[in-house]
Amino acid sequence: MWCFPPSASGISDIGTPLGPWMWGLRCHHESCPPCPPAYGVWERRGWEAEQEAPILCGCIIGSLENYYHFHHSKTFKRSTLSSRGPHTFLRMDPKVEWLQQQEVRRRVKRHVRGDPPSLPFNDPVWPNMWYLHCGDRNSRCRSEMNVVAAWQRGYTGRNVVVTILDDGIERNHPDLLQNYDPLASYDVNGNDHDPTPRYDASNENKHGTRCAGEVAAAANNSYCIVGIAYNARIGGIRMLDGDVTDVVEAKSLGIRPDYIDIYSASWGPDDDGKTVDGPGLLAKQAFEHGIKKGRRGLGSIFVWASGNGGREGDYCSCDGYTNSIYTISISSTTENGYKPWYLEECASTLATTYSSGAFYERKIVTTDLRHRCTDGHTGTSVSAPMVAGIIALALEANPLLTWRDVQHLLVRTSRPVHLRAADWKTNGAGHKVSHLYGFGLVDAEAIVVEAKKWKTVPPQHVCVGSLDRVPKYIRPDHVLRASTLSSACSEQREQHVLYLEHVVVRLSIAHPRRGDLQISLVSPAGTRSQLLARRVFDHSNEGFKGWEFMTVHCWGERAAGEWTLEIQDTPSQVRNKTLKSFCFFVGWRFLPFCWLHTVHAGWSRWLLAFLPDNRV
């Protein structure tokens, strides 16, 4: 298609008869119809036209002066052959300076899709899994965890093994049978290899089966739900249906560490607002063995529910499992981004998923005992298996991730989005963090994308130091402040700590009513972590005996500088204010991964950090 004045000499000057392979259209100059793809030609001087002459339209290319558009009428639209003859004749014409045969190019509209491309799931409860596809028109949740997007990138948990530490799993459940892995299972309570729960009239031992379905329920089997890592292998350790001892926990945490990648636990000490408890000596050693030797030296990954003691005013820093550097502590939010009634706060929480909320808000659907499904799964018990499934997607993307790499990825990719909390702050490394939600809502797509290109964090450094050994008196209604200036072992190359991961403060406090205490830590960058809040039901006079409080709120900050610990005593009405309390600073440590520890009274710094990398 082309344009020219009828009297223009260019018609006969092109060098070949034009009629057979081009055509023209008479119209007003300002309303030429669009041209079909053909040749783009730029002519040196343009074609002069008589001012009053009509224009044959179809070749002027927009407002580009002296550019023309030609169309060969006998060229097939889908032909794979080039139009060499006309092309050559045009190029030979002395008036033509540039020539290009036009090809169709793919262009996509850059609108935001209202719905993700549908996946062909025939599982009947899939439409009710609002937390996995909350971008659809029927969902009220406002932010995605982007699980579907991770699936669309090809990650479904294949070749990753996840085990649920709980009351057993129903291994022959139709939605679990396909992915059930006997090598990842054991019955610690019964000392056999069958993790099937003990059945009773109340279905008391349903918890593990519900958690397992969240992780690895099979897809497209026309039954129940779709697991987040629906191609992962799933096992169960039956260990809660009986007396739970340090030995039971240690055995459960240490089963097949070279085979099992991820251990998910949605249990802990009583969430009654007055208990201070954690793993015993053997369980601690099992954790340490797992992170050092598990997954052939990459480290076992332990995912833990942060706790359901919110109604009792509990604080999850009094739970030694969620408060451990070796576990990934996971919180919950409602579909509307509110704090659930059961949620505990603390500075050790790393990230958040959706879960249940008020009675009018939707809950989580999953597998249930006796081959059933349920929409009654609630609490932070929901959140740990969700993150275990998302980590399984990340391990499929990069099987060489270490246990610390996984924590870094969660810090980097979790997002505050619409999660409602009054205490959101930006730490000295630029990370937004909250005592309710950690670093925010997990993002499955972001974590698999980051995992694919992730480089392993450098090894740990060890830095040792000590402080004043004199006990400090805590005055009622006052704040005790103690500061220390840390060099982070800058004078020792092999021990120098640069950037932080975890910070652990180890304290011994003698106090007549433990629940009256509040403890905060302020980093050199000014980031304040509340290590303990008041607990109205904690009337204990036992205080704290070498208890370790942990925070992740300083993640990525530099370790060197002045650290300040603040302890506030706010006496309750039931307490005798004349009773004195003392604090012994037994120690604190900064991690990743450098231990600063002293055995004498006073406090010590355990500094754990990595070499300059700026990957924080």
Chain CA centroid to CA 550, Å: 20
Q: Please check whether residue 602 is in contact with residue 469, taking contact to mean a CB–CB distance below 8 angstroms.
A: yes
Q: Please check whether residue 346 is in contact with residue 339, taking contact to mean a CB–CB distance below 8 angstroms.
A: no
Name the residues annotated as catalytic.
166, 207, 381
Token representation of residue 315: 């604080």
Q: Please check whether residue 278 is in contact with residue 315, taking contact to mean a CB–CB distance below 8 angstroms.
A: no
Token representation of residue 235: 């096992």
SS3 of residue 486 by DSSP: strand
How far, in Å, CA of 42 to CA of 474, rounded?
87
For residue 434, what is the DSSP state?
B
How far, in Å, CA of 491 to CA of 497, rounded?
10
CA distances from 381 to 144, 163, 377 (A): 20, 14, 8
Q: Please check whether residue 499 is in contact with residue 609, taking contact to mean a CB–CB distance below 8 angstroms.
A: yes
How far, in Å, CA of 528 to CA of 100, rounded?
64
Strand extents, DSSP E, 151-306: 161-166, 186-187, 233-238, 262-265, 301-305
Q: Please check whether residue 179 is in contact with residue 236, taking contact to mean a CB–CB distance below 8 angstroms.
A: no
Q: Please check whether residue 322 is in contact with residue 352, taking contact to mean a CB–CB distance below 8 angstroms.
A: no
Q: Please check whether residue 312 is in contact with residue 273, taking contact to mean a CB–CB distance below 8 angstroms.
A: yes
How far, in Å, CA of 178 to CA of 375, rounded?
22
Token representation of residue 68: 């023309």
Q: Please check whether residue 452 is in contact with residue 154, taking contact to mean a CB–CB distance below 8 angstroms.
A: no
Q: Please check whether residue 417 is in contact with residue 135, taking contact to mean a CB–CB distance below 8 angstroms.
A: no
User: H or E stretch including 368?
Assistant: strand 364-368
CB atoms within 10 A of CB 143: 19
CA distances from 94 to 13, 45, 115, 239, 250 (A): 9, 11, 55, 88, 88
Q: CA angle at residue 309 from 537 to 280, to 5 degrees?
A: 90
User: H or E stretch including 546?
Assistant: strand 544-551
SS3 sequence of 164-183: EEEECCCCCCCCCHHHECHH
Nearest to 391 by CA among 451, 432, 345: 451
Nearest to 524 by CA among 567, 556, 568: 556
How far, in Å, CA of 535 to CA of 427, rounded?
26
Residues in CB range of 224: below 8 A, 6 or more apart: 123, 124, 125, 174, 175, 213, 217, 365, 366, 367, 373
How far, in Å, CA of 591 to CA of 348, rounded?
13
